[in-house]
Chains A and B, each alone.
Chain A
Amino acid sequence: MKKKFLTLISLLMVSVMLFAACSPTKPAEDQKTEVADDKSGEVKEETKEEPKEEPKEEKKKTEDEAKLNFEGRTLNVVATSESYVPLFEKFTEKTGAKVEFLSMSSGEVLSRVKAEGGKPMADLWFGGGLDAFIQAKNDDLLEAYKSPNAEDIDAKFKDADGYWYSKGITVVGLLVNNDVLEEKGLEAPKGWKDLADPKYKDEVIMSSPAISGTNYAALKGWLDLWGEEEGWKFFTELNENITAYGKRGKDPFEKTIAKEFAIGIIPADKSAHDAMKEENVTLIFPEEGIPWVPEGVAIFKGSDNVDIASAFIDFMYEPESQKMIAEIDGKDTNQLVKPGAEGFDLGLDPSKLIDEDLSTFGSAREAILEKFQSIAGDK
């Protein structure tokens, strides 16, 4: 009996598989078609038109209408990490739209969308270094939207045509492991230039700027701070102290915590603040200046839910949401781009932020990475 049963099961499985492979309607797609059906064309059209020209009153009305329509629909988001869940929940509470997200690095996002021939893998892209967003815009992968709530945002924090916005800025800091410094009899570095000191040889970890937006921002920041010549000179010296460049964005953080290295170049975010409480590590802001990078937010071109994604951008710039983002990311007021938004008081001196040239942030990437490669070699 059992033998027969087994045979039957095996055969059944094969046939089920075959059917599964042939029938294109899968649960996931059912959901999608459903979504497409109960979306009212009216709302979609209204949001797709240049909303900037509409009077503010009418825009409000559209939003209220849209609010009702989002019930039962889902906004798909690619985020940098899962820490934004509370913010997404708040959005659901306000608009009725469910939010599903997936964590992916910006490089992976770009590759995936390219491989899919521009077919959007989600509706909204939330967070990640600005360079990737600029590239995506150039590759025609993004949808333009002019948010009324972004009118007072400084021009450098949003794309002039509305292809991307910044949800805040990431500042670059140093995470030092006090145990390792103690073991080696070293003191903590105060600024960037200290890192190039031979006494820190093999104790500094940095991710490849080709992979990590944060580490690219650091490199770009040094060039903007000291100028090309001095900046590259510093990097060449620093390169001597680095055994290998991390191949994952999280590498400097994880390996400094694990005592593999004394000093890691990291984004000074919530996880760094948490780590300070849990581990014997300290977050240091280098004295010469703090490099920073705007964190992008954009709508994918061809998304089914452009209206919800647009509403999310409006929502993101509301004072309450800004406060929430500050809380989630552990951001200082100076790391928020919305004028008047409240944040944490981390004592980040705004005058310490390097005067970066954002206009070349994307365009200079290729040349900078090439030069980086020529200095770093195979490391």
Chain B
Amino acid sequence: MKISKHRENINRFYNVLDVLLIIIVAVSVILFILYPMWMVMVKSVNIDGIYSLDIYKNLIKNSTKLITNSLMVAISTTVLTTVMTVIISVYASLTKKWVGRLINLTLMLTMISPPFVTSLSYITLFGKRGFITHDILGLTLNTYGFYGIVLMQSLGFISLSSILLIGIIKSLNSDTIQSARDLGADTGSIIFDIIIPMIRPGILVVAVLAFVRSLADFSTPAIIGGSYNTLAAESYFSVIAYSNLNRAAAINTLIFIPALIGFLIFRHYMNRLPMMGGSTTGSDGLNLPRSGKIYRIFGVLTILFLFILIMQYGSIFLSAITKKTRGVMYFTLENIVESKNHINTTIFRSIGYSLIAAIGGTTIGYLLSYYREIRKVRLMKVIDFIATMPYIIPGTFFGLGYILAFNDYPLPLTGTATIVILNVLFKQLPFSTKIADSTIKQIRPESIDSCKDLGGHEMNVLKDIMIPSSKPGFFLSFINNFTATMTTVGSIIFLVYPGQKLATLIMFDVIQSGKYRIGAVIACLLILVVMLFNISFYLLFLSDKKKTKQSSN
């Protein structure tokens, strides 16, 4: 009797908690994503108090080229990113263990792309007189324009998406693959006929994230777009050159349309895909013969990509430890010593904000996905849809939306630290929910049923099944949010007050003062900090995972 009474109490508590969690997730998403974006849209039709659609009429008449440019870039970046991601992650999963680890490490290092510094390093390598294009290959290419934007965007997206896909491949059920192998299938056909179809949900996530991120990216086209303009760059331009908020708001609203279509297509396919009945037993890697043409082509492409990445980050590191006199380079620690004057305690503030944003964002993302995917709460479909939006609009505008929304009653948050944290947290929410979706989809419905058959409350499903089985995804979402917050500039430059600067803004300051080398030192420091946090978080999860594995054996 006593036991059942206790049970009842727990269940009652769970019921309250359940409702509370749903409300918290729904309200926070509406308040911190939909409301600011709504304010942006209002701004695009409300010009000094008068409602009009003139801006749109003008935009549509004069900006067809911008729209097609944006779409061309987004589609090409999506294709390139997705193809390369599949190649790299399949290769990394099949190759020798230490090579796979090395690839993973390189990807993790290069997942962090400090703004400005990476684009400048891209120019030093691939520019008109870039090290690779000009000095090694002897070419004087005009890298500005379409190809430059697509290449640089893909270069920036691939590392993170590969880590994501490697994680998904790791959790594949190796039985199917093993039986195909027993039937005599070669590595190439196993890759194409079994592995790739099995990871289709993951591939879709990679593709849709690349598509919307490319649409919203304004800094790449601004730096290497040359005369090739995109919608996102144009909206940024409206803000900084003409301080024309109405026009910028309208452009951002326009960016929604293709992004929305892309997202709807994604949702359609995602829902039609069968659940991947995955058991996590295959984590010792796929045991396939490392041979065949396909495998070798994948290998060459992976190594080529890694080489480019290493060169790019190597050049940042080199800038941090060298100086020049009249064009002649020499090694020195001066930059590092000098950078001490610039950084001070800001780095700790950055870490603090990033930690909160990472844990909070990941938690909300997982809860959202849980209520939508497992509990099938109808409302959550709408909420999830809203939660994808921050990836679609350029960061600058998500920042301005926050100003418009929280400048005044009822929630006067501008000028506080909270608004900055909330902004970065919700900016990364789309990633968290997508990761959560792809890991949750792997949970077998049977295990949920059996939990409930055993008398478990819905909350037990969340606590005992979902959380433990989605650790790799949780980890990935955490490091993404942490990294993104550590390196963000666009959305927070409009929210931060002079006294609350973050490390990236200091990097922006010094680069603005023409001290690129000091900027490179700060970039290296950011990479180092992010790496340390990622590794320690990874170890925390890894050791945990081993234990569960042992106990399950």
Interface residues of A (CB under 8 A from B): 2-4, 6-7, 9-11, 13-14, 16-18, 20-21, 24, 26-29, 31-32, 74, 76-78, 80-83, 85, 100-105, 107-108, 110-112, 114-117, 119, 121-122, 135, 179-180, 183, 202, 208, 210-211, 243-244, 247-248, 250-251, 253-255, 257-261, 269-272, 274-275, 277-280, 378-379
**CB atoms of A243 and B227 under 8 A apart:** yes
A244 to B115, CA, bound (A): 22
**CB atoms of B28 and A76 under 8 A apart:** no
30 A-B pairs within 8 Å (CB atoms) are namely: A10-B363, A13-B359, A14-B364, A26-B418, A29-B415, A81-B512, A82-B506, A82-B513, A85-B341, A102-B497, A102-B498, A104-B493, A107-B241, A107-B243, A111-B239, A111-B400, A115-B245, A117-B407, A121-B497, A122-B498, A135-B243, A183-B129, A208-B241, A243-B226, A247-B236, A260-B129, A275-B514, A279-B327, A280-B326, A378-B227
A111 to B396, CA, bound (A): 11
Complex: chain A residue closest to B401, CB-CB = A115
**CB atoms of B245 and A7 under 8 A apart:** no
Query: SS class of chain A's interface: helix, strand, loop or mixed?
Result: helix
**CB atoms of A100 and B229 under 8 A apart:** no
**CB atoms of B467 and A119 under 8 A apart:** no
**CB atoms of B359 and A278 under 8 A apart:** no
Contact A271:B407 (CB < 8 A) given known A29-B415, A211-B240, A248-B222: no
A208 to B225, CA, bound (A): 14
Q: How far is the CB of B44 from chain A (nearest CB, A)?
A: 13
Residue B21, interface by CB 8 Å = yes
Residue B417, interface by CB 8 Å = yes
Complex: chain A residue closest to B462, CB-CB = A7
Contact A260:B242 (CB < 8 A) given known A7-B467, A10-B363: no
Residue B124, interface by CB 8 Å = yes
**CB atoms of B497 and A107 under 8 A apart:** no
**CB atoms of B407 and A105 under 8 A apart:** no
Complex: chain A residue closest to B422, CB-CB = A21
**CB atoms of A81 and B513 under 8 A apart:** yes
A361 to B400, CA, bound (A): 29
Residue B342, interface by CB 8 Å = yes
B471-530 contacts to A, CB under 8 A, are: 493-494, 496-501, 505-506, 508-516
A100 to B324, CA, bound (A): 31
Query: Which chain B residues lie closer than 8 Å to A18 at the CB level?
Result: 24, 28
Query: Which chain A residues lie closer than 8 Å to B96 at the CB level?
Result: none
Complex: chain A residue closest to B402, CB-CB = A115
**CB atoms of A110 and B243 under 8 A apart:** yes
Query: Which chain A residues lie closer than 8 Å to B413 at the CB level?
Result: 24
Query: Which chain B residues lie closer than 8 Å to A107 at the CB level?
Result: 239-243
Query: Which chain A residues lie closer than 8 Å to B227 at the CB level?
Result: 243-244, 378-379
**CB atoms of B403 and A115 under 8 A apart:** yes
0/1 interface trace, chain B 531-546, chain A, CB 8 Å (1 if under): 0000000000000100
Residue B340, interface by CB 8 Å = no
A121 to B237, CA, bound (A): 21
Residue B320, interface by CB 8 Å = no
**CB atoms of A32 and B415 under 8 A apart:** yes
A65 to B207, CA, bound (A): 64
Contact A82:B467 (CB < 8 A) given known A21-B418, A76-B499: no
B176-234 contacts to A, CB under 8 A, are: 222-223, 225-227, 229, 233
Contact A28:B499 (CB < 8 A) given known A3-B464, A258-B120, A378-B229: yes
A30 to B400, CA, bound (A): 24
A78, A82, A107, A244: most-surrounded residue (chain B CB, <10 A): A82
A17, A29, A85, A105: most-surrounded residue (chain B CB, <10 A): A17
B87-136 contacts to A, CB under 8 A, are: 120, 123-124, 127-129
Query: Which chain A residues lie closer than 8 Å to B28 at the CB level?
Result: 17-18, 21
0/1 interface trace, chain B 144-163, chain A, CB 8 Å (1 if under): 10000000000000000000
A141 to B24, CA, bound (A): 38
Q: How far is the CB of B206 from chain A (nearest CB, A)?
A: 26
A9 to B358, CA, bound (A): 13
Query: Which chain B residues lie closer than 8 Å to A2 at the CB level?
Result: 544
**CB atoms of A26 and B417 under 8 A apart:** yes
**CB atoms of A112 and B359 under 8 A apart:** no
Q: How far is the CB of B320 from chain A (nearest CB, A)?
A: 15
A243 to B510, CA, bound (A): 28
**CB atoms of B240 and A80 under 8 A apart:** no
**Cβ contact of B509, chosen from A82, A110, A210, cutoff 8 A:** A82
A76 to B496, CA, bound (A): 12
**CB atoms of A210 and B242 under 8 A apart:** yes
A260 to B356, CA, bound (A): 41
A180 to B499, CA, bound (A): 42
Can you add 10 more A-B contacts, CB < 8 Å, to A102-B505, A111-B240, A112-B403? A3-B467, A7-B463, A10-B359, A29-B416, A83-B513, A104-B493, A107-B240, A107-B243, A248-B223, A258-B120
**CB atoms of B510 and A82 under 8 A apart:** yes
Query: Which chain A residues lie closer than 8 Å to B226 at the CB level?
Result: 243-244
Q: How far is the CB of B364 from chain A (nearest CB, A)?
A: 7
A95 to B11, CA, bound (A): 63
A117 to B43, CA, bound (A): 12
Complex: chain B residue closest to A17, CB-CB = B360
Query: Which chain A residues lie closer than 8 Å to B500 at the CB level?
Result: 28
Query: Which chain B residues lie closer than 8 Å to A7 at the CB level?
Result: 463, 467
Complex: chain A residue closest to B324, CB-CB = A278
Query: Which chain B residues lie closer than 8 Å to A250 at the CB level?
Result: 511-512, 514
Query: Which chain A residues lie closer than 8 Å to B498 at the CB level?
Result: 76-78, 100-102, 122
**CB atoms of B233 and A20 under 8 A apart:** no
**Cβ contact of A211, chosen from B128, B237, B324, cutoff 8 A:** B237
A268 to B24, CA, bound (A): 54
**CB atoms of B124 and A14 under 8 A apart:** no
B15-70 contacts to A, CB under 8 A, are: 17, 21, 24, 28, 31-32, 65
**CB atoms of B499 and A100 under 8 A apart:** yes
**Cβ contact of B512, chosen from A74, A103, A244, A378, cutoff 8 A:** A103
Query: Which chain B residues lie closer than 8 Å to A100 at the CB level?
Result: 497-499, 501
B120, B418, B463: most-surrounded residue (chain A CB, <10 A): B418
A103 to B515, CA, bound (A): 14
A275 to B514, CA, bound (A): 9
A81 to B511, CA, bound (A): 9
A274 to B513, CA, bound (A): 11
A13 to B222, CA, bound (A): 37
A29 to B325, CA, bound (A): 46
Query: Which chain A residues lie closer than 8 Å to B506 at the CB level?
Result: 82
Residue B314, interface by CB 8 Å = no
Q: How far is the CB of B371 from chain A (nearest CB, A)?
A: 13
A100 to B349, CA, bound (A): 15
